[in-house]
Amino acid sequence: MKKTALLLSIILFTGSMGTIDAQKNRTLSHGFSVNLIVGIPSPNYGYLKDTNVNEASQINFIAGIQIGNRWYFGSSERFKMGLMVNWFDITAGTRIDGDWTRSVADVSFLELGPIGTVVFSDDIALDAYYNLRPTGFAHIWTYASEDPDGYAGAGISHAIGTAFRWKVLSVGLEYVIGNINCENINSSSESSDLKLVNSNFRLMIGAKF
Q: How much is the pLDDT for 167? A: 93
Please, what is the average pLDDT of the chain? Answer: 87
CATH number at residue 42: 2.40.160.20
User: Which pTM value belongs to this model?
Assistant: 0.83
pLDDT above 70 (res 12): no
Q: How confident is the model at residue 156 (pLDDT cuts 50, 70, 90)?
A: very high
pLDDT above 60 (res 43): yes
Domain that holds residue 110: 2-208
Structural domain tally of the chain? Answer: 1
List, for residues 94-135, the tens digit of each pLDDT value: 998 878 899 999 999 999 999 999 999 989 999 999 999 999
Q: How much is the pLDDT for 6? A: 46
Q: How much is the pLDDT for 86? A: 98
Which amino acid, 6?
A: L
